[in-house]
Amino acid sequence: MSESLFGEDVIVRTIARLVAPFIQLFGLYVLMHGHVSPGGGFQAGVIIASSFILLALALGLPESKERFKKTIRLPMESSGPLIFALIGVTCILAGGYYLQYGIAFLFPPAVVSAILISAVEIGIGITVLAMIVTIFYAMAGD
Amino acid sequence: MVNFGFLLGHYNYWAVVVLFLIGLYAMIVKKNLIKKFMGLNIMDTSIFLFYISMGDVEGGVSPIIAHGGGSDVIYVNPLPSVLILTAIVVAISTTALALSLIIKIYEEYGTLDSDRLVELM
Amino acid sequence: MKIIPSIFILFIGVMLAAAVAGMPEFGDPNSPANTHIVPYYRENSLEETGVTEIVTSIVVSYRGYDTFGEVTVIFTAGTGVIALLGRK
């Protein structure tokens, strides 16, 4: 699937190009509000990945890959588990158990816990985003 | 005499049972590997529906603690949502892996019919 | 329509229907699933995790190991897809 599914259709190409940034913005909103409203890392990762899939369907696979290069995807895929594990180890170093976020460090435990939970969500979102896009590119062929 | 109260009070379980049986039928009877896998996904969906509907509470709202929310607010059960979030991700992962295996099988043997594959192997 | 698979499916269906008879009603607040540990989360999750959404607090904090395994699962699945199809 090297060509676009819709050929050179001006309406589809223009609308996809215009809508994709807003989908990504909505994904970032879902990611950053995961602790006060429905959402979180998994949902946000899939939403942002869907914008790249939309671009691949409307503009063709090479143009979608141009916007999300392999050199960026490769570190993103593995950084999520790394961020998660590092935060867990940080909790040990701060005197808690592995992944016990409620540690008192500069702020009260509840505030630290909320910050660390947001950081973990961001790590999950990065991995899910990169992995879904990579799986789509691998299955879509060259 | 049919007990309609019982049937109506458990209608979510009937939907789950029907979905589960549709998925199982597709997995057993269909010869195409992709159709078999779609059957597995339908069975997955029935299990998700089973868990989520079991956590419903009558008159409950979504489990988000409003600022200073009182104790009289009824929340639905958050635990099934959490478990199913995990299950959905695992289902996506198995789907991706199985579909790529199916792509490789088709490249190698040129067919997806399970009977033909048994003969060819 | 295959005969033997249909009989098997019907048999499974009858067993599942018999199991439904022992389940709590839809929306029952006193069912075992709604009374075991969930009241604890409802009371304490805001103080213990500082997160107003109970689902997120359970996903990332109470069941953090579970979620860590989940991230590993999707990472492994992606690795498997790349190993099978090649990185394009």
Each residue's pLDDT expressed in tens, for chain C with a length of 88 residues = 688 989 999 999 999 988 888 888 887 888 888 888 888 888 888 888 888 888 888 888 888 888 999 999 999 999 999 999 887 6
User: Which residue does chain A place closest to C88, by CA atoms?
Assistant: A138
Is C71 part of any domain?
no
Parts of chain A with a pLDDT under 50: 1
Contact B77, B56 (CB under 8 A): yes
**CA pseudo-torsion sign B63, B64, B65, B69:** negative
Using CA atoms, how far apart are residues B40 and B45, in angstroms rounded to an integer?
Answer: 9
- At residue A2, the pLDDT reads 52
Q: pLDDT tens digits, residue range A101-130?
A: 777 677 777 888 888 888 889 999 999 999
Cα atoms found within 13 Å of the Cα of residue A35, Cβ hemisphere only: 21
Within a domain: residue C12? Answer: yes
Q: What is the CATH number of domain B4-57+74-120?
A: 1.10.287.3510
- Residue C75 belongs to some domain of the structure: no
- What's the structural domain count of chain C? 1
Residue B79 in contact with partner chain A when CB distance is under 8 A: no
- Bridge partners of B61? B75
pLDDT of residue B114: 86
Tokens matching residue A94: 């701060």
Burial class (CB in 10 A: 0-12, 13-18, 19+), C74: buried
The domain segmentation of chain B, as residue ranges, is 4-57+74-120
- Per DSSP, the residues of chain A read --S-TTTT-HHHHHHHHHHHHHHHHHHHHHHHTTTTSS--HHHHHHHHHHHHHHHHHHH-HHHHHHHS-HHHHHHHHHHHHHHHHHHHHHHHHTTS-TT-----BSB-HHHHHHHHHHHHHHHHHHHHHHHHHHHHHHHH--
CA distance A8 to A10: 6
Query: Would you state the pLDDT for residue C56?
Result: 87
**Considering CB atoms only, which of C29, C63, C70 is closest to B57?**
C29
- Is the residue at C2 inside a domain? yes
Contact criterion met (CB below 8 Å) for A129 and A118: no
| The total number of residues written for chain C in this structure | 88
Complex-level ipTM: 0.84
Q: What is the pLDDT of residues B58-115, one digit of tens each?
A: 887 888 887 555 667 788 888 898 999 999 999 999 999 999 999 999 998 988 888 8
Min Cα–Cα distance to chain B from A39, Å? 11
* Residue among A36, A132, A139 whose CB faces B100 most closely: A139
Each residue of B30-69: pLDDT tens digit?
Answer: 999 999 999 999 999 999 999 998 888 888 788 888 755 5
